[in-house]
Amino acid sequence: MTAGVEVGRFDPAHATEEDLRGYHEVMVARQEADRPDEPRLSYENVVGRLKNPFVGFGPVAHWVARSRGEVVGLAIVYFLEEESGHIGLTEVVVHPRVRRRGVGTAILKAVVPELRARGRSLVETWEITKGGEGERWAESLGFRTVHTVVLQALMIPEVDRNRWRVDVPAGYRLRRWVGAAPEDLVASFAAARNAMHDAPLGELGYQEPTWSVARVRAREEELRRNDIELRAVVAVHEGTGEVVGLTELEVHPHRPSRGYQRDTAVVPAHRGRGLGRCVKGHLTTWLLADRPGLDRIYTTTGAGNEHMIRVNHQLGYTTVRTMVAVNRDLAELEADLGSLSGDAVGRAPKG
């Protein structure tokens, strides 16, 4: 292990105020170095995320690295489930002032046994700033780039709201809800969500879920438990009464001024009619009528998904940052870690 650095498990529920403050300092320093386009993370933002982890990514575990008692780095690992149950979705963050001293590699070494114990075979990391230190560190450890995404933001005070006034195409009507899909639509809503399987994911190990009514209801319940507001707008085909287009957005309790745009999908037979732009525009208008204090909405889109990037630009989104996802076989990584070193890598799921 790197001299003077100790890595251990971290339990946010029982952490001291000093450790939480140190954790916050590392996250802010990483943001200022690698993501200067984002608003500064407050202490409440960071602790709120620890208490409200991302929904739909399975159990989460934390580690911190300390030097002379001070938190200088951390790891967050989501143990994905079902179709992606072979993946440990891993984020390692190191304070910029102690990078290139082997701290990140020491953290990763500490995480590997837990990945193996939970039956993982692939280590995957999302949303590393392209061209940054995190990407260089990942490459030094033998990770390969498997997907590229763009982060887009709708800066609400700066956008002409007429962009969101999109007519509903003939032959369709819109429905909307907060929290839970109506019983009369939930089955076709689940089926329509499976259109996300067409989204380009490069060579990610992650696989889009196969949706059923039970899976939709389980996700809704998990969001409720975490006090996350979920809104959906769907396009219903008049001829069949079925959902054929959809979009969803989340508002998290520790970041009430931001929205996180989630899946937008249109069933293949109904594409080319502007339904994606329509449902997203209506969702934005509805959301801001209820939450006028919202100042921005974030979304991530595969760099190869030119259609959705164009739709987002039409709605007023701007591209903030290009990011990459990397992965590596766990057994190969474990074999190499003894002789490699590095410092910082980042992850953030859909928002």
Q: How far is 88 from 59, CA to CA, in rounded Å?
A: 10
225 part of a folded domain: yes
Element (H, E) at 277: helix 275-290
199 secondary structure, DSSP code: S
Which residues of the chain, if any, have pLDDT below 50?
1, 341-351
- Write out 7-47 in H/E/C secondary structure: EEEECHHHCCHHHHHHHHHHHHHHHHHHCCCCCCCCHHHHH
Residue 199 is predicted with a pLDDT of 87
Q: How far is 233 from 218, CA to CA, in rounded Å?
A: 19
348 part of a folded domain: no
Q: How far is 194 from 265, CA to CA, in rounded Å?
A: 8
192 part of a folded domain: yes
Cα–chain center distance at 240: 34
Residues 6+ apart with CB under 8 A from 271: none
Cα–chain center distance at 251: 13
Residue 338 is predicted with a pLDDT of 72
Q: Are residues 52 and 87 in the same domain?
A: yes
166 part of a folded domain: yes
Distances from the Cα of 135 to the Cα of 2, 63, 250, angstroms: 21, 21, 28
Q: Are residues 188 and 231 in the same domain?
A: yes
Q: What is the pLDDT of residues 245-284, one digit of tens each?
A: 999 999 999 899 999 999 999 999 999 999 999 999 999 9
Q: How far is 123 from 343, CA to CA, in rounded Å?
A: 16
Residue 4 is predicted with a pLDDT of 83
Q: Are residues 179 and 51 in the same domain?
A: no
Tokens 């909307």 sit on residue: 176
Q: What is the pLDDT of residues 181-196, one digit of tens each?
A: 999 999 999 999 999 9
Q: Are residues 244 and 331 in the same domain?
A: no
351 part of a folded domain: no
Number of domains within the chain: 2
Closest CA to 314 of 287, 288, 281: 281
349 part of a folded domain: no
Q: Are residues 182 and 231 in the same domain?
A: yes
Residue 339 is predicted with a pLDDT of 65
Closest CA to 321 of 35, 50, 63, 2: 35
Residue 313 is predicted with a pLDDT of 97
Contact yes or no for 291/254 (Cβ under 8 A): no
Q: How far is 23 from 44, CA to CA, in rounded Å?
A: 12
Tokens 């990584």 sit on residue: 333
345 part of a folded domain: no
Q: What is the pLDDT of residues 304-333, one digit of tens each?
A: 999 999 999 999 999 999 999 999 999 999
Q: Are residues 111 and 10 in the same domain?
A: yes
Distances from the Cα of 124 to the Cα of 49, 222, 345, 348, angstroms: 20, 23, 11, 11
The per-residue b/e assignment along 206-226, b for 16 or more CB within 10 angstroms, e otherwise, is: bebbebeeeebeebbeebeee
Q: CB neighbours (10 Å) of residue 32?
A: 13
Q: Are residues 53 and 186 in the same domain?
A: no
Q: Are residues 36 and 134 in the same domain?
A: yes
19 part of a folded domain: yes
Provide the CATH number for the domain around residue 124.
Answer: 3.40.630.30
Q: Are residues 107 and 171 in the same domain?
A: no
Q: Are residues 143 and 93 in the same domain?
A: yes
Range of the domain at 91: 5-149+325-339
Helices and strands (H and E) in the chain: how many: 9, 12
Residue 311 is predicted with a pLDDT of 96
The separation between the first and the last C-alpha atoms of the chain, rounded to the nearest angstrom, is 33
Strands 87-94 and 122-129: parallel
> Which strands make up the sheet holding 144-155, listed edge to edge?
5-10, 60-67, 70-79, 87-94, 122-129, 318-329, 144-155, 296-302, 258-266, 243-251, 229-237, 172-178
Q: CB neighbours (10 Å) of residue 203?
A: 10
